[in-house]
Amino acid sequence: MNDEQQDSTAGEQTGSRDRAAGQHERFRGEYPIVVEGLVNSFGEQTIHDGLDLKVRRGEILGVVGGSGTGKSVLMRSIIGLQTPAEGSIEVFGRSITDAEPDENLGVRNRWGVLFQGGALFSTLTVGENVQVPLKQFYPDLDSQLLEEIARYKVMLSGLPEEAVAKYPNELSGGMRKRAGLARALSLDPELLFLDEPTAGLDPIGASKFDKLTLELKRTLGLTVFLITHDLDTLHEICDRVAVIADKKVIAIDTVPKLMELDHPWIQEYFNGPRGRAALTAQALDELRRHMEMPIAAQTVKALDKTPPKSS
Ligand SMILES: Nc1ncnc2c1ncn2[C@@H]1O[C@H](COP(=O)(O)OP(=O)(O)OP(=O)(O)O)[C@@H](O)[C@H]1O
């Protein structure tokens, strides 16, 4: 079993303790994730030192930072797979950091996680992989219903129905990501964690995955915590982006606002050649969308944006 599968199993094992959580109301507060004063260290190495972060309900929050700045460690801390040295983390208003490891918090079945490599079990079919969390949280579901839910989640993730019976090694990299997404969606989560979902995909596959993420956010009302290095993803689908540097979240804002900041890493990242290329590509996309529209529709759209006159 590789590290990611261990992570996945650990999450599921921890999650199984929430089995009795049963029904719950959807979170109605403003911030489903609140991190305050987070400190994480490994031996002498301090990864986070007083990191604060609030994720808004219904947003896609991109999380960026140089390699090794602790993006994945932050995600692992939020989902309870990494115990911080200091600080507090609340998810859906429940403290993750104060909880005993085996405490039933009633929140662990309300998020889904797509780990970097997908973390699929290679000896299980895609459908069986999707059923793993379902069986752990809802052990009384009969097998026909389990199969039906799994098939639905697989198709929701943009895979053909036949993929249900396939093994991970029979799928392309892009399809494996979608299978991992299907499993992350298995419990109808309110919160979705995606760790570099487009890494290793070709630009077309990456763009399709981005569109799917956006569509899922809109149709299922998800909040998405998305770790990425992909500038196109940041420009195309993220409502806000949190930048990790110097062991903290140094800025959190929309991409255009971040680009105005004069922090050297932010400038190099967003205004370097790759950042500018991503921006140009996005502007062209937008232009193409307008070019395809009849002029009248364009005018209506422009007028729609005009703020109403106060009476
Ligand atoms: N279990 C662990 N034991 C020791 N060190 C660890 C452990 N997990 C992570 N680290 C270290 O913490 C640092 C941050 O790792 P993390 O994986 O969070 O980085 P990242 O920002 O996600 O990087 P990347 O963009 O390259 O994926 C790295 O130096 C890593 O080696």
Q: Which of 71, 81, 195 to mutate to test the pocket of ligand 1 (most atoms within 8 A of CB)?
A: 71
Q: Whose CA is nearest to atom 24 of ligand 1?
A: 67
User: What predicted TM-score, i.e. pTM, was given to this entire model?
Assistant: 0.84
Question: pLDDT for 23-39, tens place per residue?
Answer: 567 888 999 999 999 99
pLDDT at 129 over 90: yes
CATH 3.20.20.10 fits 3-16+31-271, yes or no: no
Q: Whose CA is nearest to atom 25 of ligand 1?
A: 67
What is the predicted ipTM?
A: 0.97
Any residues with CB less than 8 A from the CB of 7 and at least 6 apart, and which?
76, 81, 115, 119
Q: Where are the domains of the chain?
A: 3-16+31-271, 272-311
Q: Which of 3, 44, 67, 72 to mutate to test the pocket of ligand 1 (most atoms within 8 A of CB)?
A: 72
Question: pLDDT for 165-195, tens place per residue?
Answer: 999 999 988 899 999 999 999 999 999 999 9
Q: Name residues contacting ligand 1 (CB within 6 A).
A: 42, 47, 65, 67-73
Q: How many CB atoms lie within 10 A of CB 204?
A: 9
Question: pLDDT for 235-269, tens place per residue?
Answer: 889 999 999 999 999 999 999 899 888 888 888 88
Q: Whose CA is nearest to atom 28 of ligand 1?
A: 68
Q: Whose CA is nearest to atom 27 of ligand 1?
A: 67
Which string of DSSP letters, residue by residue, matches 222-289?
-EEEEE---HHHHHHH-SEEEEEETTEEEEEE-HHHHHT---HHHHHHHHSHHHHHHHHHHHHHHHHH
Helices (H), the chain: 3-16, 71-78, 126-137, 143-156, 173-184, 203-220, 231-237, 255-259, 264-271, 273-291, 295-305
